[in-house]
Amino acid sequence: MLVKVNEKQFDKIIDKLKILVYDYNSKIKEYGVYLKPYHIVYKNGKKYIYIGKYWYKLEKIGGKLKWIYLGKNKPIEDMPNPPQIPTMTIIKEDNEYVIDEEILYKLEG
Amino acid sequence: MLVKVNEKQFDKIIDKLKILVYDYNSKIKEYGVYLKPYHIVYKNGKKYIYIGKYWYKLEKIGGKLKWIYLGKNKPIEDMPNPPQIPTMTIIKEDNEYVIDEEILYKLEG
């Protein structure tokens, strides 16, 4: 079920999810690819937030660092599997965030 | 001079700053410490955001991953220096973000 949380609650949830992504990225450091911790898409006046959903690598192009998109799946078969973050889309509407409450159960305790 | 930016502008700025932090963290991966990309403090009803300012390590305590604060200075002398992110505090007030405009010049081009 979708629930609404305020910004402070949202920040706490995101922090807990991002730490899973950082930890995982530190485990796969030798592969030169990342699960992107925090990815924002603005579309149709809404803001969509994706945590640890997409694979990227960092490249320097013309002196500027860029995220290079690698897809939704583990790009290298041998790598350990990513953390089990429930598939979800976080949508920001006005000043509230709409999330799947499943994520709250996952992060409890 | 302090300027106000809206959320979308803010997201773009943060993305450019965080990528510098990620890139740096990938260079220091063998040291087991991190510049924390995004750190939030709520204080006196305001939200303060710090990008790449504090050093942390990740530890698993009682099965939970935690950020362990290491300070504002490079914790290991031998490590490469962190990216030159202007010292700044980002304050969120209502729905706007107050930043030092110096950061905008740094990120241009």
* Dist CA B101 CA A51 (whole Å): 29
Chain A residues close to B20, C-beta within 8 Å = 65
- Cβ atoms of A26 and B58 within 8 Å: the answer is yes
Mean pLDDT of chain A: 88
Give the HSE-up count for residue A67: Cα atoms under 13 Å, Cβ half-sphere.
21
Q: Is A34 exposed, middle or buried (0-12, 13-18, 19+ CB in 10 A)?
A: buried
Determine whether the interchain pair A58/B23 forms a contact, defined as Cβ–Cβ distance below 8 Å.
yes
Whether this prediction's pTM lies above 0.90 is answered by no
Sole residue written with tokens 């930016």: B5
* Dist CA B105 CA B84 (whole Å): 13
Q: Which residues of chain B have pLDDT under 70?
A: 87, 108-109
Share of chain A above pLDDT 70, in %: 96
Residue A65 reports pLDDT greater than 80: yes
Determine whether the interchain pair A23/B95 forms a contact, defined as Cβ–Cβ distance below 8 Å.
no
* Dist CA A20 CA B102 (whole Å): 33
User: Could you report the per-residue pLDDT of A55-64, keeping only the tens digit for each?
Assistant: 999 999 988 8
- Cβ atoms of B1 and B100 within 8 Å: the answer is yes
pLDDT of residue B24: 94
Chain A residues close to B15, C-beta within 8 Å = 40
Name which residue leads in pLDDT, B102 or A6. A6
Please, what is the end-to-end C-alpha distance for chain A in angstroms? 20
Nearest CA distance, B1 vs chain A (angstrom): 26
Chain B residue with minimal CA distance to A25? B26
Q: If residue A58 lies in a helix (H) or strand (E), which one and from where to where?
A: strand A55-61
